[in-house]
């Protein structure tokens, strides 16, 4: 179950075209804690704050990353169901669609 939950979150990050950025090398990633930045590798603090605010309105709390690292940290402990993890993934996809920027080549 933890594998399915973490795979869903990492897949949402991977499919975001760099909007979400996983901060841990793929070979060292945890199934329990998924840290990531929003808006690129260094993160966009305003976007991350907005993400946390909107997530909180949906009952998704304690997503703020560690104070020394920043960003977002999704904790996928055993008490969190697969359905709840999928709600986070759906929210991530909606947030991406609402806030992505279109760049021209």
Residue 103 has pLDDT above 70, yes or no: no
pLDDT digits (tens, 9 = 90+) for 59-86: 999 999 988 888 999 999 999 999 999 9
Where do the domains of the chain lie? 2-99
Residues 14, 94: contact at Cβ < 8 Å? no
CATH architecture, domain defined by 2-99: Alpha-Beta Complex (3.90)
pLDDT at residue number 77? 94
pLDDT at residue number 35? 96
Q: Convert 64-101 to b/e letters by CB count within 10 Å (16 or more is b).
A: bbeeeebbbbbebeeebeeeebebbbebbeebbeeeee
Residue 104 has pLDDT above 70, yes or no: no
pLDDT digits (tens, 9 = 90+) for 11-43: 999 999 999 999 999 999 999 999 999 999 999
pLDDT digits (tens, 9 = 90+) for 1-11: 889 999 999 99
pLDDT at residue number 105? 37
């Amino acid at each position: 179950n933890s594998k399915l939950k973490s795979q869903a979150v990492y897949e949402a990050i991977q499919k975001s075209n760099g909007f979400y950025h996983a901060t841990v090398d793929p070979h060292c990633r945890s199934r329990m804690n998924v840290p990531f930045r929003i808006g690129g590798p260094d993160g966009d603090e305003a976007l991350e704050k907005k993400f946390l605010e909107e997530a909180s309105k949906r009952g998704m709390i304690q997503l703020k990353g560690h104070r020394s690292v920043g960003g977002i940290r999704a904790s996928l402990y055993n008490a969190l169901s697969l359905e709840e993890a999928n709600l986070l993934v759906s929210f991530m996809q909606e947030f991406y669609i609402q806030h992505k920027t279109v760049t021209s080549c």
